[in-house]
Protein backbone atom coordinates (compact mmCIF):
# COMPACT_ATOMS: atom_id res chain seq x y z
CA UNK A 1 0.00 0.00 0.00
CA UNK A 2 1.25 3.52 -0.77
CA UNK A 3 2.38 5.46 2.30
CA UNK A 4 1.68 9.03 1.36
CA UNK A 5 2.85 10.57 4.64
CA UNK A 6 5.76 8.25 5.45
CA UNK A 7 8.44 10.64 4.23
CA UNK A 8 7.40 13.12 6.92
CA UNK A 9 7.71 10.80 9.91
CA UNK A 10 11.00 9.31 11.10
CA UNK A 11 10.76 5.51 10.90
CA UNK A 12 10.88 3.27 13.96
CA UNK A 13 14.20 1.43 13.75
CA UNK A 14 14.15 -0.40 17.08
CA UNK A 15 11.45 -1.39 19.56
CA UNK A 16 11.65 -3.45 22.70
CA UNK A 17 9.70 -4.53 25.75
CA UNK A 18 10.90 -2.73 28.90
CA UNK A 19 8.82 -4.41 31.61
CA UNK A 20 5.33 -4.76 33.03
CA UNK A 21 3.62 -4.76 36.38
CA UNK A 22 0.16 -5.37 37.85
CA UNK A 23 1.07 -3.13 40.81
CA UNK A 24 1.84 0.63 40.87
CA UNK A 25 4.80 0.13 43.21
CA UNK A 26 6.63 -2.19 40.80
CA UNK A 27 6.60 -0.14 37.61
CA UNK A 28 9.84 0.39 35.66
CA UNK A 29 11.77 3.51 36.72
CA UNK A 30 10.30 6.70 35.25
CA UNK A 31 12.81 7.67 32.57
CA UNK A 32 12.40 9.45 29.25
CA UNK A 33 9.07 10.47 27.74
CA UNK A 34 6.01 8.24 28.08
CA UNK A 35 2.78 8.12 26.07
CA UNK A 36 0.00 5.99 27.58
CA UNK A 37 -2.69 4.20 25.57
CA UNK A 38 -5.95 3.43 27.26
CA UNK A 39 -9.45 2.31 26.39
CA UNK A 40 -12.10 -0.36 26.75
CA UNK A 41 -11.03 -4.01 26.61
CA UNK A 42 -10.73 -5.27 23.05
CA UNK A 43 -10.71 -1.74 21.55
CA UNK A 44 -7.35 -2.50 19.91
CA UNK A 45 -4.70 -0.95 22.21
CA UNK A 46 -2.11 -3.71 21.88
CA UNK A 47 -2.73 -4.04 18.13
CA UNK A 48 -2.23 -0.30 17.66
CA UNK A 49 1.02 -0.38 19.66
CA UNK A 50 2.37 -3.21 17.52
CA UNK A 51 1.47 -1.26 14.38
CA UNK A 52 3.21 1.88 15.70
CA UNK A 53 6.32 -0.14 16.60
CA UNK A 54 6.30 -2.10 13.32
CA UNK A 55 6.26 -5.35 15.29
CA UNK A 56 3.83 -8.19 14.83
CA UNK A 57 3.30 -9.26 18.42
CA UNK A 58 5.53 -7.33 20.82
CA UNK A 59 2.43 -6.18 22.73
CA UNK A 60 0.27 -9.24 23.23
CA UNK A 61 -3.08 -9.11 21.46
CA UNK A 62 -6.07 -11.38 21.83
CA UNK A 63 -9.61 -12.11 20.70
CA UNK A 64 -10.47 -12.56 24.36
CA UNK A 65 -11.36 -9.27 26.05
CA UNK A 66 -9.41 -8.51 29.20
CA UNK A 67 -6.16 -10.00 27.91
CA UNK A 68 -3.89 -7.23 29.18
CA UNK A 69 -4.10 -6.91 32.97
CA UNK A 70 -0.77 -5.29 33.63
CA UNK A 71 0.75 -1.98 32.62
CA UNK A 72 3.28 -2.85 29.93
CA UNK A 73 6.12 -0.54 28.86
CA UNK A 74 7.76 -0.52 25.43
CA UNK A 75 10.53 1.64 24.07
CA UNK A 76 10.74 2.76 20.46
CA UNK A 77 13.66 4.50 18.77
CA UNK A 78 13.15 6.39 15.52
CA UNK A 79 15.60 6.95 12.67
CA UNK A 80 16.26 10.52 13.90
CA UNK A 81 17.51 9.12 17.25
CA UNK A 82 14.43 10.16 19.29
CA UNK A 83 13.28 7.65 21.89
CA UNK A 84 9.81 7.37 23.38
CA UNK A 85 8.19 4.93 25.77
CA UNK A 86 4.76 3.60 24.79
CA UNK A 87 2.65 2.33 27.65
CA UNK A 88 -0.15 -0.24 27.22
CA UNK A 89 -2.70 0.21 30.01
CA UNK A 90 -5.07 -2.63 30.98
CA UNK A 91 -8.51 -2.23 29.38
CA UNK A 92 -11.69 -1.34 31.25
CA UNK A 93 -15.36 -2.16 30.78
CA UNK A 94 -14.86 -5.91 30.78
CA UNK A 95 -18.02 -7.22 32.44
CA UNK A 96 -16.61 -10.54 33.61
CA UNK A 97 -14.19 -8.98 36.09
CA UNK A 98 -14.64 -9.46 39.81
CA UNK A 99 -15.17 -6.43 42.05
CA UNK A 100 -11.69 -6.81 43.57
CA UNK A 101 -10.14 -6.94 40.09
CA UNK A 102 -11.95 -3.74 39.17
CA UNK A 103 -10.69 -2.02 42.31
CA UNK A 104 -7.10 -3.07 41.66
CA UNK A 105 -7.48 -1.92 38.02
CA UNK A 106 -8.70 1.48 39.26
CA UNK A 107 -5.85 1.88 41.75
CA UNK A 108 -3.21 0.89 39.23
CA UNK A 109 -4.45 3.10 36.39
CA UNK A 110 -5.24 6.09 38.62
CA UNK A 111 -1.86 5.96 40.34
CA UNK A 112 -0.08 5.69 36.99
CA UNK A 113 -2.03 8.48 35.26
CA UNK A 114 -1.89 10.98 38.11
CA UNK A 115 1.49 10.27 39.69
CA UNK A 116 3.83 9.35 36.85
CA UNK A 117 6.30 12.22 36.39
CA UNK A 118 7.42 11.04 32.94
CA UNK A 119 3.91 10.78 31.47
CA UNK A 120 3.60 13.39 28.70
CA UNK A 121 0.51 12.35 26.75
CA UNK A 122 -2.48 10.04 26.91
CA UNK A 123 -4.18 8.48 23.91
CA UNK A 124 -7.76 7.42 24.62
CA UNK A 125 -8.93 4.74 22.19
CA UNK A 126 -12.59 4.26 21.30
CA UNK A 127 -14.08 1.84 18.77
CA UNK A 128 -15.16 4.00 15.81
CA UNK A 129 -18.50 2.13 15.75
CA UNK A 130 -19.23 2.74 19.46
CA UNK A 131 -17.94 6.26 19.98
CA UNK A 132 -17.36 7.76 23.43
CA UNK A 133 -19.20 5.81 26.14
CA UNK A 134 -19.65 6.40 29.89
CA UNK A 135 -16.49 4.45 30.83
CA UNK A 136 -14.47 6.50 28.35
CA UNK A 137 -15.80 9.74 29.85
CA UNK A 138 -14.71 8.51 33.31
CA UNK A 139 -11.24 7.85 31.96
CA UNK A 140 -11.05 11.28 30.29
CA UNK A 141 -12.12 12.91 33.55
CA UNK A 142 -9.37 11.06 35.38
CA UNK A 143 -6.81 12.21 32.82
CA UNK A 144 -7.78 15.84 33.34
CA UNK A 145 -7.71 15.61 37.17
CA UNK A 146 -4.82 17.44 38.89
CA UNK A 147 -1.55 15.50 38.85
CA UNK A 148 -0.03 14.42 42.17
CA UNK A 149 3.50 15.17 40.98
CA UNK A 150 5.03 18.18 39.25
CA UNK A 151 4.90 17.74 35.48
CA UNK A 152 3.76 19.69 32.40
CA UNK A 153 0.05 19.34 31.46
CA UNK A 154 -0.75 16.07 29.65
CA UNK A 155 -1.47 16.08 25.94
CA UNK A 156 -4.74 14.22 25.31
CA UNK A 157 -5.70 12.70 21.99
CA UNK A 158 -8.66 10.54 20.94
CA UNK A 159 -8.13 7.70 18.50
CA UNK A 160 -11.07 5.95 16.85
CA UNK A 161 -9.97 2.36 16.16
CA UNK A 162 -11.03 -0.33 13.66
CA UNK A 163 -11.81 2.21 10.95
CA UNK A 164 -11.69 -0.63 8.38
CA UNK A 165 -14.90 -2.05 9.89
CA UNK A 166 -16.83 0.89 8.39
CA UNK A 167 -17.25 1.65 4.69
CA UNK A 168 -15.01 4.52 3.57
CA UNK A 169 -18.00 6.85 3.10
CA UNK A 170 -18.82 6.50 6.82
CA UNK A 171 -15.33 7.45 8.09
CA UNK A 172 -15.69 11.25 8.14
CA UNK A 173 -19.18 11.34 9.75
CA UNK A 174 -18.10 8.82 12.42
CA UNK A 175 -14.95 10.81 13.26
CA UNK A 176 -16.91 14.06 13.38
CA UNK A 177 -19.38 12.50 15.80
CA UNK A 178 -16.54 11.43 18.12
CA UNK A 179 -14.91 14.89 17.88
CA UNK A 180 -18.21 16.48 18.89
CA UNK A 181 -18.65 14.02 21.78
CA UNK A 182 -15.13 14.39 23.13
CA UNK A 183 -14.30 17.99 22.19
CA UNK A 184 -10.76 16.77 21.58
CA UNK A 185 -8.50 16.18 18.60
CA UNK A 186 -9.50 12.81 17.11
CA UNK A 187 -7.73 10.62 14.58
CA UNK A 188 -9.00 7.49 12.86
CA UNK A 189 -6.90 4.32 12.98
CA UNK A 190 -6.87 0.90 11.39
CA UNK A 191 -4.17 -1.73 11.76
CA UNK A 192 -4.74 -2.36 8.05
CA UNK A 193 -4.02 1.22 6.89
CA UNK A 194 -0.37 2.32 7.31
CA UNK A 195 -1.30 5.92 6.47
CA UNK A 196 -3.27 6.08 9.73
CA UNK A 197 -0.16 4.82 11.60
CA UNK A 198 1.98 7.59 10.13
CA UNK A 199 -0.62 10.25 10.88
CA UNK A 200 -0.83 9.07 14.49
CA UNK A 201 2.97 9.13 14.89
CA UNK A 202 3.01 12.64 13.44
CA UNK A 203 0.40 13.85 15.91
CA UNK A 204 2.08 12.07 18.85
CA UNK A 205 5.47 13.57 18.03
CA UNK A 206 3.91 17.01 17.78
CA UNK A 207 2.13 16.51 21.13
CA UNK A 208 5.31 15.57 23.01
CA UNK A 209 7.39 18.25 21.31
CA UNK A 210 9.45 16.10 18.92
CA UNK A 211 9.89 17.46 15.41
CA UNK A 212 7.67 15.75 12.88
CA UNK A 213 9.81 15.95 9.78
CA UNK A 214 12.48 13.39 8.97
CA UNK A 215 15.94 14.94 9.05
Taking alpha carbons only, the member of 111, 76, 75, 90 closest to residue 37 is 90
Binding to ligand GTP, residues 26-45 (CB under 6 A)? 41-45
Among 42, 50, 68, 196, binds Mg ion (CB under 5 A): 68
Among 52, 122, 159, 161, binds ligand GTP (CB under 6 A): 161
**To the nearest whole angstrom, how small is the minimum distance from the Cβ of residue 139 to ligand GTP?**
13
**To the nearest whole angstrom, how small is the minimum distance from the Cβ of residue 194 to ligand GTP?**
12
* DSSP-derived secondary structure for 124-182: EEEETTT-S-HHHHHHHHHHTSPPSS--PPPEEEEEEE-GGGS-GGGHHHHHHHHHHHH
8 A C-beta contact, residue 183 and residue 66: no
Binding to ligand GTP, residues 64-93 (CB under 6 A)? 65-68, 91
Compare residues 26 and 129 and give the one whose CB is closer to ligand GTP: 129
Among 46, 75, 182, 207, binds Mg ion (CB under 5 A): 46
Told to check if 20 binds ligand GTP by CB under 6 A, we report: no
Q: Distance between CA 138 and CA 125 in Å, rounded?
A: 13
Binding site for ligand GTP (CB under 6 A): 41-47, 61-63, 65-68, 91, 161-162, 164-165, 190-192
Binding site for Mg ion (CB under 5 A): 45-46, 68
Amino acid sequence: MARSTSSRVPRIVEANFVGSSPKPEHLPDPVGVEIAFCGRSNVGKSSLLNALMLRRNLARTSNTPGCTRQIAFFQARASDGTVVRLVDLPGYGYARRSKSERISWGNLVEEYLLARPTLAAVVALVDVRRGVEADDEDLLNLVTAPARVPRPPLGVLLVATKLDKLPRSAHTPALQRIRRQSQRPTLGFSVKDPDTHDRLWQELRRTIGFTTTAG
